[in-house]
Structure 1
Amino acid sequence: MKLRFTLLLAASLLTACASTPPARLAARDHIRDFTLEGRFALRVTLPGQAVQNSGGRLTWTHQNRSDRVLLSSPLGYGLAEIETTPEISRLRTAEGKTRESSDPDALIEDVTGQRLPVSRLPAWLLGRSGGTAQIETDARGRPARLSEDGWQVDYSFEDDSPSALPARLTLSRNGEIELRLRIEEWKDAP
């Protein structure tokens, strides 16, 4: 059960957290590739099961339509690594187990039992639709809330600029899953 929760956490985390973005990073609307460092807290409340909480750190690189997410405990111990490309998705656990699939959402469902929107998360981080999202904006035109396929993403910013990158995100679905992200740093992808 602990492995399933860790993998659910890993899947949920193709996501992030930010302080003021570096000046060299493009404005939110023009970003295609990025690296971010942050912290996460995940709460899963599934019917008939005990509430599960987890948290830790993440490093996420999104480049050329591919992602690499490294998840670690609050003390820095590796939990999992997720790599996705347009052709293949691979999840490696700290125990050395590897799973692969051509569909990242199906891979996570196979591993955790939950269909999670892994393929949409890079767009959602930046307040963009991963398909047919409804996006509410704040007074500065930045994303405030995104709703898509039963998921809700709420955004918080530390910078008043209309092109600011989010510093905090909360992703939730039907009161069952809540993922909070605190992005400490956004960087250009290497």
Structure 2
Amino acid sequence: MRWWLMLVASVLTGCASAPPRIAVPGLNQAVQERFELDGRMAVRYRNDSSSAAIHWRHRPEIDNLTLSTPLGQTLTALTRDADGVTLVDSEQKTHRAQNVADLTERLLGWQLPLENLAYWIVGHAAPDQTYQVQQDAEHGITRLTQAGWVVTYSRWQQVGGVNLPNKLTLVGRGVEVRLAIGDWKLAGLE
């Protein structure tokens, strides 16, 4: 049960004092703030691993993230809004907190930066935090290091003229999260 909670919390996150944003060709503020994705997620923590299908709808004011089995059975559903964070687990128990960090600290014993993941998933560094980035001429951004996490981008895809990650891996604090995004929906581009 705790592994599915960790999967949800995982979804969703050079040292100049005020770093500039990473330049991703075609990525604008609207795409960064509003997206929907479907894909697969695998998490490895200590000696255990779990995987699930992921559906994430992100807006500045709300996040809805659902993890499910390959057959479509919902394992966990997380909602972040102005009232805080609510997680409903596979046993239909509801857990609440003011923010994702507090919820994961209470349920898992440590905090995950889900808020940062909304930036990392589209290939950006979270604002107002230092970071390091590696790029190459052929693939663009290949690695981002920020807030104790290393995000490795192994494949990109074109969506509505925007270059977005297709496969990425997050490693930090003893956790490895692999994401493969099969379908992006971008607000304002469809």
Q: TM-score, normalised by structure 1?
A: 0.81
Alignment coverage as a number of residue pairs? 172
State the shift of 1:183 in Å. Answer: 0.3
Assess if the C-alpha contact under 8 Å between 2:123 and 2:164 holds in 1: no
Query: Residue 14 of structure 1 aligns with which residue?
Result: 12
Q: Can you give the 5+ residue segments of structure 2 that lack an aligned partner in the other structure?
A: 14-24
State the shift of 1:141 in Å. Answer: 7.4
The equivalent position to 1:136 in structure 2, one of 134, 137, 144, is 134
* SS class of match (1:6): helix
* SS class of match (2:110): coil
Matched residue type, 1:173: G
Alignment of 1:74-113 (within 5 A): 74-113=70-109
Alignment of 1:31-180 (within 5 A): 31=31, 32-45=33-46, 51-130=47-126, 131-139=129-137, 142-159=140-157, 163-173=162-172, 176-180=174-178
State the shift of 1:109 in Å. Answer: 1.1
Residues 51-88 of structure 1, C-alpha deviation per residue, up to 9 Å, x if partnerless?
11111101000013421101001222111001112441
Assess if the C-alpha contact under 8 Å between 2:78 and 2:85 holds in 1: yes
Matched residue type, 2:65: V
Q: Can you give the 5+ residue segments of structure 1 that lack an aligned partner in the other structure?
A: 16-25, 46-50
Matched residue type, 2:122: L
State the shift of 1:127 in Å. Answer: 1.9
State the shift of 1:106 in Å. Answer: 1.1
Assess if the C-alpha contact under 8 Å between 1:82 and 1:91 holds in 2: yes
Assess if the C-alpha contact under 8 Å between 1:36 and 1:184 holds in 2: yes
* SS class of match (1:127): coil
* SS class of match (2:91): coil
State the shift of 1:119 in Å. Answer: 1.4
* SS class of match (1:105): helix
Query: Residue 48 of structure 1 aligns with which residue?
Result: none
Aligned residues: percent identity? 34
State the shift of 1:143 in Å. Answer: 2.3
The structure showing larger relative contact order (alpha-carbon pairs under 8 Å, at least 6 residues apart) is 1
Matched residue type, 1:12: S
* SS class of match (1:27): coil
State the shift of 1:128 in Å. Answer: 1.6
State the shift of 1:40 in Å. Answer: 1.0
Looking at structure 1, the residues matched to 91 and 150 of structure 2 have their Cα atoms a distance apart, in angstroms, of: 32
Looking at structure 1, the residues matched to 187 and 162 of structure 2 have their Cα atoms a distance apart, in angstroms, of: 18
Residues 24-53 of structure 1, C-alpha deviation per residue, up to 9 Å, x if partnerless?
xx93344120000001111111xxxxx111
Matched residue type, 2:4: T
Assess if the C-alpha contact under 8 Å between 2:101 and 2:111 holds in 1: yes
Q: TM-score, normalised by structure 2?
A: 0.81
Assess if the C-alpha contact under 8 Å between 1:146 and 1:154 holds in 2: yes
Relative to total residues, which structure has the larger strand share, 1 or 2?
Answer: 2
| Superposition CA RMSD, Å | 2.4
State the shift of 1:160 in Å. Answer: 7.7
Assess if the C-alpha contact under 8 Å between 2:9 and 2:104 holds in 1: yes
Cα distance change, pair 159–68 in 1 and its aligned pair in 2 (3 A): closer
